[in-house]
Amino acid sequence: MQTQALRPMTFQALKRFIYVFAAWTLIATMAWAQNYPNKPIKIISPIPPGGAPDMIARAIGAKLSTLVNQPVVIENKIGSNGNIAAEFVARAPADGYTLLVGMDSLFVINPYLYERSGMIDVNKELIPVATLGANQFVLSLNPNYKFKSLKEFVDFAKKANPPLAYASGGNGSQHHLTMEMLKARGGFDMLHVPYKGGTPATTATIGGETMAMFSGTSNANLIRAGRLNALAVSGSQRSKAMPEIPTIAETFPGFDNTIWIGLFAPAGTPDAVVKRLRAEVDKALHSADLIENFQKAGGIEPMVTTLEEMQAQIKRDQAKYSKVIRDLNLKVD
């Protein structure tokens, strides 16, 4: 008996198949997402315990654990300015159970600063979930310099010959790039001395090895104790942690370099899971105890945005930092 050849599927039958398959997939995804989470969530921190991003990860993790009734475990993956942690999360299953608390620099500086060989593309392999917190840098001077205003400092720096030295947490760090932005805006020069992190840069400035630096608001106690002379903060508005210190924008209108930290997931994580996470993070960021914990982490202020606002923030910062990095011809292996 001769076997009858299979008839090709008609266009209408193919359309029906696609509709049925899409509907089945949507129903299955929604059903799965409704049960999310049903096991512990892991949040990856890119820095050692004790730093502001890690403290934010632990504060948001503790609050999320209560809200979703599942354990939230914080795990540190340190190195390469956050790239190691980012790659670990990007390679994890896209199911909402492995997340990254990432610094903005990972998405808006590293892609332009580091050689691309062997690196993941964070802007394609990770997706934004929610902003968590924002902070400002403080233009801080060795206490022997008694300037009363940013203008006095800029005028002094313009006349200095040879140029005075400033410290940063490393080449391409936000400490470094923020000072370069101020130099360009103020029309003065200073010698950049990179250190391995913000803490040794602070020690160098207090000790007189360098004149100035941009430090985090975590140095508020050193400023209040008179061990650093704070002249201005880098955000568009005064810091709630130190409202007595003016903004750079009060001298140079439009200057704004706020640093922020966000929650990210592997690309492909279901939209329903991302929405659930965003909703719970929004609740957490409005809670009084979390706000208090953020303040303890160095004056961090909760940053609540829509997903569209978060994506727009990333694009603005990418344009800003990529220009500075190009102008300085910076590259890190």
Residues with Cβ within 8 Å of 210's Cβ and at least 6 positions away in sequence, in order, are 142, 165, 166, 167, 193, 201, 204
183 is a domain residue: yes
CATH code, domain with 72: 3.40.190.150
Q: Quick one: pLDDT at residue 149?
A: 96
Tally of domains in the chain: 2
193 is a domain residue: yes
CATH code, domain with 150: 3.40.190.10
Residues 68 and 131 in one domain: yes
Residues 121 and 149 in one domain: no
Answer for the pair 136, 303: CB distance below 8 angstroms, yes or no: no
Q: Quick one: pLDDT at residue 77?
A: 93
Residues 215 and 200 in one domain: yes
295 is a domain residue: yes
287 is a domain residue: yes
Residues 100 and 152 in one domain: no
Residues 95 and 150 in one domain: no
Q: Quick one: pLDDT at residue 333?
A: 64
> Given the DSSP bridges, would you call strands 259-266 and 126-135 parallel, antiparallel or unpaired?
antiparallel
Q: Tens of pLDDT along the chain (333 residues)?
A: 455 554 555 656 555 655 555 555 555 455 545 689 999 999 999 988 877 788 899 999 999 999 999 999 999 998 877 889 999 999 999 999 999 999 999 999 999 988 765 578 999 999 999 999 999 999 999 999 999 999 999 999 999 999 999 999 888 889 999 999 999 999 999 999 999 888 899 999 999 999 999 988 778 889 999 999 999 999 999 988 889 999 999 999 999 999 999 999 999 999 999 999 999 999 999 999 999 888 877 788 999 999 999 999 999 999 999 999 999 998 876
Range of the domain at 278: 41-136+258-328
Backbone angles phi, psi at 265, to 5 degrees: -135, 160
Residues 266 and 231 in one domain: no
Residues 234 and 145 in one domain: yes
Residues 220, 222, 228, 229, CA torsion sign: positive
- Among 232, 250, 268, residue at a domain's last position: 250
Query: Which residue stretches of 81-217 are H helix?
Result: 83-90, 105-108, 110-113, 122-125, 150-159, 174-186, 198-207
Residues 150 and 237 in one domain: yes
Answer for the pair 77, 45: CB distance below 8 angstroms, yes or no: yes
For 139, the token pair is 């233009």
Residues 184 and 285 in one domain: no
Helices first, then strands: H and E counts in the chain? 13, 11
- Among 250, 282, 309, residue at a domain's last position: 250
Residues with Cβ within 8 Å of 240's Cβ and at least 6 positions away in sequence, in order, are 299, 301
- Among 250, 275, 309, residue at a domain's last position: 250
How far is Cα 216 from Cα 139, in angstroms, rounded to an integer? Answer: 9
Residues 161 and 194 in one domain: yes
5 is a domain residue: no
3 is a domain residue: no
How far is Cα 220 from Cα 287, in angstroms, rounded to an integer? Answer: 24
Residues 78, 81, 86, 88, CA torsion sign: negative
Residues 105 and 157 in one domain: no
Q: Which residues pair with 302 in a beta bridge?
A: 133
Q: Quick one: pLDDT at residue 241?
A: 82
Residues with Cβ within 8 Å of 44's Cβ and at least 6 positions away in sequence, in order, are 75, 76, 77, 85, 88, 89, 98, 99, 100, 101
8 is a domain residue: no
Residues 98 and 144 in one domain: no
2 is a domain residue: no
